[in-house]
Homo-oligomer: A and B are copies of this chain.
Amino acid sequence: MKKEIPYKIYLSENELPYTWCNLRAFMQNKPAPLLSPKTMQPITVEELSEVFCEELAKQELDDTTPYIDIPTEVRDFYKMYRPAPLIRAYCLEKKLGTPAHIYYKFEGNNTSGSHKLNSAIAQAYYAKQQGLKGVTTETGAGQWGTALSMACSYFGLDCNVFMVKCSYEQKPFRREVMRTYGANVTPSPSMTTEVGKKINAEFPGTNGSLGCAISEAVEAASTREGYRYVLGSVLNQVLLHQSVIGMETKTALDKYGVKADIIIGCAGGGSNLGGLIAPFMAEKLQGKADYRFIAVEPSSCPTLTRGKYAYDYCDTGKICPLSKMYTLGSGFIPAASHAGGLRYHGMTSTLSELYDQGLMEARSVKQTDVFEAAEYFARIEGILPAPESSHAIRVAMDEAIKCRETGEKKVIVFGLTGTGYFDMMSYEKFHDGKMTDYIPTDGEIEKGLAGLPNL
């Protein structure tokens, strides 16, 4: 007999996973290796260790170990906000009149407001283990920077965040959260790095960009004794740490004898989606179970749905390794959108390869449709979702509506990666009818792809 399913499935702290799931280890056709931007050859742990912590460099290149132990210290920190609830969307199902069962894994119940903390704490831990003084990173809207600040504060590490200047000035709230956690937040481009000075000289009064902030953070890490650079998405190590989302989700569903049919997540760099689907995709790859996976991206930045599968630089400044991935070209500048966390030109190599193999679907959605779903969801389920997360809500609702039409009783699971408390300006635009949609023309896409490196 099946157990009655509560509104919120909370696992006990004992059920928190002891290992991360390394999805690549289950793939027969592995993602192509990262290339060094200097040699254009597969990058080595030694080369990567110049920029990243050693243990993280190892994780980055490990595509054979299926499960990697979560260090006790990291697991203890996880206990402060995990296991995260898996919520049965009873109210949404009822309102939609769908026979589908909808579940969402909610990652917003921590002060950073998103899943980013799962990897931030792991990266801070390995930095501390290596005896580093601190880390540097960049942040746009500030979600990753906030998460890293919390993690560094916990381990007593110095945290230097280069924040894109326009965000630093226009969105002071996340900046203040970071300062609350003791981080040094520098508007980028700054006068504290060579590259920052150069950009300031070249473009006086510039508002900065993520590409520039990355360059400053990497320079700061490499020129300061005892510092390394850390990154919140795209990398394999980040997907690995984020697999805690999927591991918990699977444990919770298994506990209640529920088998998912469709698993949906928003995808910018791909870390949240990669983490959510990891153990499920591992089963699929082993022929143990079948699932449909849907990556949802903004139509303004349609990496999977309109990009090309090719080697490209991970950053605009072309100083980071190259990755074979679906990309719109590292020179593609997505139109300003209200889902800043999804404005990335590429897609993490693992998801790119899985998509290329036809093991995962992708869908792009317009932001007005996304905000419509976000508001609908908030009113029914209570939680105010982040615009990024709301991409997954949109498609989960669309699939549930299809079930209403076909009468199918599918089990839909989606990732609700975070809350929208710091996105109220965007909601305001939506309420005032001032939000527009932007879909790049074929010419714009072609222009971006024309900049791909010749390899």
Interface residues of A (CB under 8 A from B): 6-8, 10, 12-13, 79-81, 91, 109-111, 113, 150, 153-154, 172-174, 176-177, 179-182, 375, 378-384, 419, 421-422, 424-425, 427-428, 431
Contact = CB atoms under 8 A, between A and B. Distances in A.
A84 to B, nearest CB: 11
Nearest to A385: B111
Contact of A109 (B6, B109, B384): B109
22 contacts: A7-B79, A8-B13, A80-B91, A80-B381, A111-B378, A111-B382, A111-B383, A111-B384, A111-B419, A150-B382, A154-B379, A172-B425, A172-B428, A173-B424, A174-B424, A176-B424, A177-B421, A177-B424, A180-B427, A181-B378, A181-B379, A421-B421
A62 B380 CA distance: 33
A79 B90 CA distance: 11
Nearest to A171: B424
A421 B424 contact: no
A12 B174 CA distance: 33
Contacts of A384: 111, 177, 180
| Most chain B CB atoms below 10 A, which of A110, A150, A153, A173 | A173
Contact of A153 (B7, B379, B419, B425): B379
A382 B177 CA distance: 11
Contacts of A421: 113, 173, 177, 421-422
A427 B179 contact: yes
Contacts of A174: 424
Contacts of A419: 111
Nearest to A112: B382
B110 A79 contact: no
B428 A176 contact: yes
Nearest to A7: B79
The 10 A-B residue pairs whose C-beta atoms are closest, nearest first, are A173-B424, A176-B424, A111-B384, A421-B421, A7-B79, A153-B379, A176-B428, A6-B13, A10-B10, A80-B382
A419 B108 CA distance: 13
A90 to B, nearest CB: 9
A381 B383 CA distance: 23
B111 A172 contact: no
B379 A182 contact: yes
A428 B174 CA distance: 11
Contacts of A91: 80
Contacts of A110: 382-383
Contacts of A182: 379
Nearest to A176: B424
A375 B113 CA distance: 17
A375 B180 contact: yes
Contacts of A176: 424-425, 427-428, 431
